[in-house]
Structure 1
Amino acid sequence: MSDYLLKSVCYEGQIRAYALCATETVSEAQKRHDTWSASSAALGRTMVGALLLGATLKGDDKMTVKVDGDGPVGHIVVDSNGRGEVKGYIANPSVSLPPNAAGKIDVRGAVGTQGTLTVTKDLGLKEAFSGQVPLVSGELGEDFTYYMANSEQVPSAIGLSVLVDTDDSIKAAGGFMIQVMPGATDETLLAIEKNIAEIPLVSKLMDAGEQPEEILDRLLGKENVKVLEKMPVSFKCDCSKERFSTAIIALGEHEITEMIEEDHGAEASCHFCGNHYHYSETDLIELRAEALAK
């Protein structure tokens, strides 16, 4: 198991904690979208955040995270589910910026500080649940933390970290989410706050060989952590030629006829994974027949 997420309870139920290694998952997205450094970090952090939030869902439940800032990367859209699967894309993959004052990738400059973070959950009910908060930082970790406190009323600390190499490839990606349960003592919270303030970047620790288990131990103290589940995570897109065919049929007879007469075929591409699906003239004639039969 390469990329995985740990779910744990800590301090005898006062705290819920999650830690995640997502290096290969974020790397897959970087390769598919050919993202440059700032875009890689922004998309990667959003994917890590969506995986952490997705870990609170049941298996088939899913969520969409949309970051819509005023920075040059434009909007970021990431889907995740309760099985540790994630896919995502960024409007402008070709953003590279000078380092920020701390010498790190300027994610705030890439994402922007004006805009919104929206989380929409599909829990298999009649209507989806949606919560939205303004961006408070643009660094994304603070923005996800603000979302949890304001939209879900769960005091949390969320750390998102992506280490990008000089060739724009992903060296390491990971993160953590600590949730405070009712009844948590001030003593517990002070101890955790101290550990969060002192921990190095998660991606740097992972690049040096540390695993999610060790991240949790650093944050919460080994003696306080009880791991409940170890869940694999991966980049996975559920697009297919069949799904795009359904969308083409929904366009109706007139538009399909135009495709046949003007282009003698069509190509559909998936925003999330970049896969391309080709439709010949014969394919389109068959889809038009299905549209007429509806």
Structure 2
Amino acid sequence: MSDYIVRAFAEGGMVRAFAATTGDLVEEARRIHSTSPIVTAALGRLMTAGLMMGAMMKDKQDLLTIKIDGDGPMRGMLVTANNAGEVKGYPYEPAVILPANQLGKLDVAGAVGKGTMTVISDLGLKEPYVGQVELVSGEIAEDIAYYYASSEQVPSGVGLGVLMNQDNTVRCAGGFIVQLMPGCPEEVITALEDRLKTVGSVTSFLKEGKTPEDILAWIFEGRELKLTDKLPCRFHCDCSRERVERALISLGSKELKSMVEEKKPAELHCQFCGKSYLFSPEELTALEREAH
């Protein structure tokens, strides 16, 4: 099954909901970054959340960045997504290994540790909107829900999961976000809260072969639910030689001059996709002239 997101409304627009299956793109990130299972799970959860949050934005040029900085051995990770179903991300430390947690599962919270989550929404305005919250669990889903409640005053139910195969490849991944809009009736709020409390793990749904549509149908069983659209999603990095050149120029003439004086080619790697860009001394000299 190819990765995709479904968007939906319920209760006459008083509730909006998103659900996604992301196993292929999480596996792609695992392959690119050679992540250990615990890092794959953490990054996969954040990328899945980023995709659904990106799907909430209105315009194609809008960009969402989520940055986690923690004191655990992973140190953190960064994910960027847009509203076209494209996401990219990387962990600060890809090869963390920890014992299983008390439930016998991957200890994502232990790998992330305590710290902060920063959400940057670039909507094409003069300044991007930046919200930052303390991590409440390091398990990612709870942290996303806390961000919405505290920074945007939007009560949200969030579920995220990544299930690994024994060979450390990704078996399945996905998640959901359910949000209450202003004016949502108290009866609906209480019923949804009670229903969400009975949700097991997202991976248990996915392991049973449930689709994003099935997950939302289960959450809203017996209630009005309208699926609005289905959006394919993928791991996509938009790096290019031109972008790397602009980044080098932004370093300034002084920095570039010192690189030129080494009389060696400079090789730069994209942190998101691992692609390498090689610049000869002559090319660095030309860029140094542009930086003046």
SS of 2:61 mapped into structure 1:
coil
| SS of aligned partner of 1:12 | helix
CA contact (8 A) 1:25 1:234 kept: yes
- Rounded Cα–Cα distance in structure 2 between residues aligned with 1:279 and 1:80: 29
Where 1:100 maps in the other structure, the secondary structure is coil
Aligned match of 2:227: 227
Q: 1:172·1:204 contact (CA, 8 Å) conserved in 2?
A: no
Partner in structure 2 of residue 256 of structure 1: 256
Distance 1:222 1:27, change over 3 A: farther
- What's the TM-score, normalizing by structure 1? 0.93
Question: Which letter does structure 2 place at the counterpart of 1:30?
Answer: R
Q: Percent identity?
A: 46
Aligned-partner Cα distance in 2 for 1:207–1:279 = 46
The unaligned stretches of length 5 or more in structure 1 are none
SS of structure 1 residue aligned to 2:105: coil
**What residue in structure 2 maps to residue 141 of structure 1?**
141
Tell me the residue number matched to 1:87. 88
Q: Specify whether residues 250 and 13 from structure 1 end up closer, same or farther in structure 2 by C-alpha distance, changes over 3 A only.
A: closer
C-alpha displacement of 1:264: 1.8
Cα displacement string for residues 229-264 of structure 1 (whole angstroms, at most 9, x for unaligned residues)? 111111111111111112222334443343334252
2:211 is the alignment partner of 1:211: yes
Paired letter, 2:106 = I
TM-score by length of 2: 0.94
Report the Cα offset of residue 36 of structure 1.
Answer: 0.2
Which residue identity lines up with residue 66 of structure 1 in the other structure? K
Does residue 281 of structure 1 match 2:281?
A: yes
Superposed CA offset, 1:101-121 (max 9, x none): 111110110111x21111011
Shift of 1:18: 0.6
Match of 1:74 in 2: 75
Q: Is the contact made by 1:35 and 1:168 (CA closer than 8 Å) also made in structure 2?
A: no
Q: What one-letter code is carried by the residue in structure 1 that aligns with 2:72?
A: G
State how many pairs are aligned. Answer: 291
Name the counterpart of 2:185: 185
| Alignment-mate amino acid for residue 61 of structure 1 | D
Is the partner of 2:46 in helix, strand or coil? helix
Q: What SS does structure 1 have at the residue aligned with 2:262?
A: helix
1:69, 1:116 within 8 Å by CA — same for their partners in 2?
yes
Give, in angstroms, the shift of residue 185 of structure 1: 2.8
**Alpha-carbon offset, residue 11 of structure 1:** 2.1
Asked if the contact 1:62/1:121 (under 8 Å) is kept, the reply is yes
> Aligned AA for 1:94?
A
Give the aligned residue type for 1:80. Answer: A
Gap change, CA 1:228 and 1:127, over 3 Å in 2: same
Amino acid paired to 1:209: G
Greater CA drift, 200-209 or 175-184: 200-209
Question: In structure 2, how many angstroms separate the alpha carbons of the residues matched to 1:184 and 1:279?
Answer: 57
Q: Specify whether residues 135 and 254 from structure 1 end up closer, same or farther in structure 2 by C-alpha distance, changes over 3 A only.
A: closer
Q: Which moved more, 1:252-261 or 1:141-150?
A: 252-261
The alignment yields a C-alpha RMSD, in angstroms, of 1.7
